[in-house]
Amino acid sequence: MSNVSQKQIRKVAVLGAGVMGAQIAAHLANAGIETVLFDLPAKEGPANGIVLKAIDNLKKLRPAPLMSAMRADLIDAANYGSDLAKLGDCDLVIEAIAERLDWKLDLYAKIAPHLAPHAILATNTSGLSIQKLADGVPGELKSRFCGIHFFNPPRYMYLVELIPTAGTETAELDALETFLVTRLGKGVVRAKDTPNFIANRIGVFSMLATIHHAEQFGIRFDVVDDLTGPRMGRPKSATFRTADVVGLDTFAHVVKTMTDNLPDDPWAAYYNSPAWLTALIGQGALGQKTRAGIYKKEGRDLFVLDPKAGQYVPSGQKGSDEVKAILKLEDPAAKVKALRESAHPEAQFLWACLRDVWHYVATLLDGIADSARDIDFAIRWGFGWKQGPFELWQAAGWKAVAEAVSADIAAGKSMASTPLPAWVAQREGVHAPEGSYSAAQDKLVGRSTLPVYGRQLYPPQLVGDAEPNYGETVFENDSVRMWLPPAATDVPVLSFKTKAHCIGAGVLAGVQEAIRIAEARFQGLVLWHPDAPFSVGADLASMGPAFMTGDFDAIENMVAEFQRASMAIKYAKVPVVGAAQGYAFGGGCEFLMHCARVVAAVETYIGLVEVGVGLLPAGGGCKEFALRASREAKGGDILGVLKDYYLAMAMAKVGTSAEEGQQIGYLRESDIVLFNSNELLFVAQAQVRALAATGYRAPVKPKAFPVAGRTGAATIKGQLVNMLEGGFISKYDYHIGVQIAEVVTGGDVEAGTLVNEEWILKLERERFMGLLKKGKTQERIMYMLENNKPLRN
């Protein structure tokens, strides 16, 4: 094995406690990395006052940079005046101070004597030349210096760009990439040292082109956002809302980097902030952070800037039906052709935006990236596009698009007159099973061979890649498939084929059959799907026919089958490991609660949310919490343990990270949290092997365990009354809460009564069916099916 895997990064220093520095430190703490956060000594109060304030602020920010407030304890406050010795045992130092070359170089000179001889120094600049910074770095540090560009907010944005200098040792860069991928869960792209690197260079140009063409074709900003968001495979924030979210001052700063450093670029004339943007910044209207920017909200009304009038007008206009119909076309080639040929201004606007971005990326590929793959992943991971620009081009027909773009360049319609590079006409595309095109090398290049990527059995795919090989089928029905990954055929995988991996009769039967097969032929089983979510829970729609005909016996039988599937998972003779990412709601959460072990991506949102549809957990969730509370009480106060579990169900609490899911109790402390969801299957299979290697024994079914009984239920009901009177819950929420309380405390029995799992499961079924027959529950179910959000009635 290479030295890459041997170099460990266990402690990190972050220099600069501003917005980015503090949030980078927060994400390091999320990953369990001991972190030292530095800033200047405070002029008044404690010397570390600036950093202490920044750490405290991390607990208040939304979206939350910390996965739990306790993670802040891993951040050690320090200052440059008295604490530089703390740098000595740091393996990585990330500098994230203001974008001033002189300030950064002064800081490097100050810290250099205190750095460990093996420490990597990385600058989180977004615009300065990494080589210019490297030229000022003390000699012995040059080989361990590079650029590292996190995207904001670091916890949630997948992309990190790594930028080497001419003197950066490859081994240092490899070690850093390995750390970023597996410990911080990032998608790493290596960029060349050019202004704004890859993602911002192309993403910001795309926004500038959109702004230019919106003015050219007279398209309102709200219409632009309606057209350039999800309809184009881009985030809901689209173009102008994205600028508001990023901050108009930040956006203008990135544009200025292009203005200052790219005077000879063919598109240099467009590297300027429009007058209306400069005016907004001058007025202090910086976007979301100042509650006014391109958009402004007054009460419940949303307004958007009219740049010609220089004032806000009511927002809400949408794209034309004609153009929206074009955007619904499934064939990318037909869609692009229709946009180009349509005379509608909105269609011409969209074609122009696409054309100029394609022209731009083709021209820049040689200079800014090692391959087209890096550009596409940078835009997907940094700007949230479903497909990168080269992917879109290739999907729409490489030759046809190239000819159309060239024709517009020749006709003077494009933003720049420079011709497409010669290689464009010589190719049929840039992505192929063999690799992606490198203009610098004029050949296809494969993906990174770093050992860390061996943990990604199914890495992110590009248009043109070889189809993923999902191996040999062991068993399959209409709802599930049990299969053997080619890279690891000893541990089978069960994947759901249903929409959002919802759980209906086919899944329930499939789970039980897969477990029988695994017990007979394999050492375990993994529940995993190539895409999120893990599961949104029970398939309510599949209950529709029985529901409409009043066949409640059929529904009760399905509930009983759900419980049998959960119990089969728990008491399987071989370990069943759940591998979760995204939503794990309701029945999906219950399946995970019954697994021998769960491997959860850090951004797993897990909860028993049945209250939202007027029901209670009846796939074993109430039973499992009742049993866990009894065991954790160890003969003591069961209700004291149970009350938090009860509130999680009654209030439909959702863990907003896997770690919070552990704190609530949906996941156990022994369950594993992974930062990179692409590693889920690799680690889940490894867990099956590890459990099997210990001579796995299924849990022993408890013959009996004590419950809190009717007195425990009465105490809970008293709390519910207070919540009802305080207006925190509705009368029907109260009714559901009572049902959950009576199930989880064991029903109408004395406190301490011994019951078994079947007793609680029977109560689950009875109370579930009782709620299902109520009109208000039926209203909640129908509202959820029609609107995809809960009704509070």
DSSP result, 110-138: HHGGGS-TT-EEEE--SSS-HHHHHHTS-
pLDDT tens for each residue of 492-525: 999 999 999 999 999 999 999 999 999 999 999 9
The confidence score (pLDDT) of residue 7 equals 80
**Host H or E run for residue 579:** strand 576-585
CATH level 3 topology of 3-190: Rossmann fold (3.40.50)
- Supply the DSSP symbol for 596: S
Q: What does each C-alpha distance from 148 to 413, 431, 561, 582, 745 come to in angstroms?
A: 37, 26, 52, 27, 53
Nearest residue to 42 via CA among 78, 11, 71, 69: 78
Amino acid at 737: G
pLDDT tens for each residue of 697-722: 999 999 999 999 999 999 999 999 99
Is the torsion defined by CA of 365, 366, 371, 374 positive or negative?
Answer: negative
Domain extent listing, the chain? 3-190, 199-445, 472-702
Residue 274's CB is within 10 A of a number of other CB atoms, namely: 17
CATH code: domain 472-702 is: 3.90.226.10
pLDDT tens for each residue of 276-285: 999 999 999 9
Does the pLDDT value for residue 3 go beyond 80?
no
Does the pLDDT value for residue 308 go beyond 80?
yes
pLDDT tens for each residue of 628-684: 999 999 989 999 999 999 999 999 999 999 999 999 999 999 999 999 999 999 999
pLDDT band at 2 (very low <50, low <70, confident <90, very high): very low
State the Cα–Cα distance between residues 199 and 775, nearest whole angstrom: 52
The confidence score (pLDDT) of residue 689 equals 98
Q: What does each C-alpha distance from 127 to 100, 123, 139, 148, 537 come to in angstroms?
A: 10, 11, 23, 11, 45
| 3-class state of residue 233 by DSSP | coil
State the Cα–Cα distance between residues 47 and 84, nearest whole angstrom: 13
* Percent of the chain residues topping a pLDDT of 70: 99
Strand runs labelled E in 16-111: 34-39, 75-79, 92-95
CATH class as words, domain 199-445? mainly alpha
Does the pLDDT value for residue 134 go beyond 60?
yes
The confidence score (pLDDT) of residue 546 equals 80
The confidence score (pLDDT) of residue 1 equals 36
Nearest residue to 677 via CA among 692, 657, 652, 661: 657
The confidence score (pLDDT) of residue 127 equals 80
**For residues 227-252, average pLDDT:** 96
State the Cα–Cα distance between residues 209 and 270, nearest whole angstrom: 8
Nearest residue to 392 via CA among 362, 423, 426: 362
Does the pLDDT value for residue 555 go beyond 70?
yes
Q: What are the φ and ψ backbone dihedral angles of 473, each rounded to 5 degrees?
A: -80, 130
Whole-prediction pTM value? 0.94
**For residues 312-327, average pLDDT:** 97
Does the pLDDT value for residue 205 go beyond 90?
yes
* Percent of the chain residues topping a pLDDT of 90: 96
Take residue 271 and report the two structure tokens written for it: 């590297």
Take residue 668 and report the two structure tokens written for it: 């156990």
**For residues 154-183, average pLDDT:** 97
Cβ atoms of 69 and 58 within 8 Å: the answer is: no
State the Cα–Cα distance between residues 393 and 574, nearest whole angstrom: 48
State the Cα–Cα distance between residues 714 and 782, nearest whole angstrom: 32
Q: What are the φ and ψ backbone dihedral angles of 702, each rounded to 5 degrees?
A: -70, 130
Does the pLDDT value for residue 401 go beyond 50?
yes
The confidence score (pLDDT) of residue 6 equals 62
State the Cα–Cα distance between residues 365 and 374, nearest whole angstrom: 9
Mean pLDDT for the chain?
96
The confidence score (pLDDT) of residue 668 equals 98
Residue 546's CB is within 10 A of a number of other CB atoms, namely: 16
Nearest residue to 742 via CA among 717, 721, 724: 717
Does the pLDDT value for residue 294 go beyond 80?
yes
The confidence score (pLDDT) of residue 623 equals 98
Does the pLDDT value for residue 460 go beyond 70?
yes
State the Cα–Cα distance between residues 10 and 92, nearest whole angstrom: 8
pLDDT tens for each residue of 115-133: 999 999 999 998 899 999 9
